[in-house]
Homo-oligomer: A and B are copies of this chain.
Amino acid sequence: MNEELQIIYEKLSFCFETRKFADLRILLLDMEPFDIARFMEDNLDDKDQLRFFRLLPKELASDVFVEIETDIQENLIKAFTDKELKEVVDDMFLDDTVDVIEEMPANVVKRILKNSSPENRKEINALLEYPDDSAGSIMTTEYVSFSASTTVESAFEKIRKTGLNKETIYTCYVTDRKKHLIGVVTVKDMLLADKNELIAHIMEESVVTASTLEDKEQVALKFSNYDYLALPVIDKEGCLVGIVTVDDAVDVIQEEATEDIQKMAAVLPSEKPYLKQSVFSLWKARLPWLLLLMISATFTSMILSSYEEKLAVIGGAVLYAFVPMLMGTAGNAGNQTSVTIIRAIAVGDVQFRDLFRVILKELLVALLVGLTVAVVCFGKLLLIDSLYNDISLRTAIVVSAVLFLSIVMAKLVGCLLPLLAKICKLDPAVVASPFMTTIVDVLSLILYCTIAIAIL
């Protein structure tokens, strides 16, 4: 947080505590809803949050409400009178109302719906039907649309009349009588056109659309590729049912990146900011994978135990000393590849049809990287490790050779797993990263033991 905001927060606290509510309102009018929400969360307790919220200028109340975190939203709704709730809900965009509703318990949802207008209630219920990860779940039904025979002048007239409650007015949609999407027109085009021009003549007929059930991550990717401000969402019949705006796409991009990062680190993803998560929920998010990986490490223990006697004959202790280095390097090498591929899949750089190109490329990189690292390791064994350990030339050769093979193997596993996950319609980030470590550990250990026993 910057210092300027810190100073404003202190002024807010002062005005609120000394009940200088007129000054408080003046301060608030100059603030962003996001910053007001953060102030309420970090500086006020339950009761004061409600008192403070009631002081918000009317035009800010619903914007701030949308930005507040779920627990506090729930407390506020429970404390609101029906009239207050109705005012807030009426002022919210429909997609925001749906976001709020999705996080609320059933009795709160009922109250929200009861205090919505009948027609809003119908649209909210429709939006709630869409699956969590779909374009339908992040779209809003509040867009501007015209028929193709409208003139620019009357189009502007319509925007003036209805625009205040639309999520964006800058991209408008052209539909026929059955609500089929037939074109898109921007306010910029309309401003640059003659006022008597027909929308049909200035609209763009080829429109990139999303379908209601399309993965919202794919939809967000379209925004980053095509630089849109809004994207129309159509149903199976080609009818316009809503739009996704760029601010929602930005949120999806941030959330999906965070989610993938969490999955790659073997943490169950959470949408809550870190500091808002309880110790218990962090424990729940981290335990499952950690337990699973710990238990699957039984395999490495079994392998080491089963080779124990044979390794002892050929000087086990020296060999044991390099197990962490071998497994660690193989794990890192595999991780480099799997994470690179997972991200490339997520941002659309790599697709299923690239399978063989990717495998070939990774094989070449693996051979190059493996060779370089193995050669350096060979030198290190003879020059550095021989200072504190009794290392024969043969041992050095075995360790370096296994290192080379482990790296190549790890990189191949690292590129195959995410691609296979993608083919099986599983999430590459979940399947690939945590599993990879176990597979690579086991394989590199088997390589080490068998090759060491064969040669030494």
Contact = CB atoms under 8 A, between A and B. Distances in A.
Interface of A: 1, 29-32, 34, 156, 159-160, 163-164, 169-170, 187-188, 191-192, 205-206, 208, 223-227, 229, 246-247, 249-251, 253-254, 257-258, 260-262, 264-267, 273-275, 279-280, 282-283, 286-287, 289-291, 293-295, 297-298, 300-302, 304-306, 308, 312, 316-318, 320-325, 327-329, 332-333, 335-336, 339-341, 343-344, 347, 349-351, 354, 357-358, 361, 364-365, 368-369, 372-373, 376-377, 380, 384-385, 388-389, 403, 407, 434, 437, 441, 445
B251 A224 contact: yes
Contacts of A164: 192
Nearest to A171: B170
Contact of A286 (B302, B316, B336): B336
A7 to B, nearest CB: 14
A227 B167 CA distance: 11
Chain copies in the assembled complex? 2
Contacts of A257: 253-254, 257, 261
B333 A290 contact: yes
A376 B294 contact: yes
Contacts of A247: 227
Given A156-B191, A206-B31, A336-B267, A373 B279 contact: no
A325 B260 contact: no
Given A253-B253, A274-B344, A280-B368, 11 more contacts: A34-B225, A34-B226, A163-B188, A224-B250, A224-B251, A290-B333, A294-B373, A297-B329, A298-B325, A304-B321, A328-B441
Contact of A170 (B170, B262, B377): B170
B323 A323 contact: yes
B275 A328 contact: no
Nearest to A344: B274
Contacts of A332: 266, 289-290, 293, 434, 437
A229 B167 CA distance: 13
Contacts of A298: 325, 380, 384-385
A87 B295 CA distance: 64
11 contacts: A1-B351, A29-B206, A187-B187, A249-B250, A250-B250, A264-B264, A266-B335, A297-B324, A301-B325, A316-B317, A320-B320
Nearest to A326: B297
A300 B325 contact: yes
Nearest to A259: B343
B324 A445 contact: yes
Nearest to A29: B206
Most chain B Cβ neighbours within 10 Å, of A297, A302, A403? A297
B349 A275 contact: yes
B187 A385 contact: no
A347 B254 contact: yes
Nearest to A286: B336
Contacts of A377: 294
Contact of A324 (B249, B312, B324, B403): B324
- 3 residue pairs, one from A and one from B, having the closest CB atoms: A265-B339, A30-B206, A297-B325
A34 B208 CA distance: 12
A4 to B, nearest CB: 10
Contact of A279 (B169, B304, B339, B368): B368
A218 B300 CA distance: 44
B274 A350 contact: yes
Contacts of A323: 304, 320, 323-324
B275 A357 contact: yes
Nearest to A257: B257
Given A34-B225, A332-B289, A274 B340 contact: yes
A15 B384 CA distance: 65
A308 B317 contact: yes
A293 B241 CA distance: 53
Contact of A294 (B253, B293, B329): B329
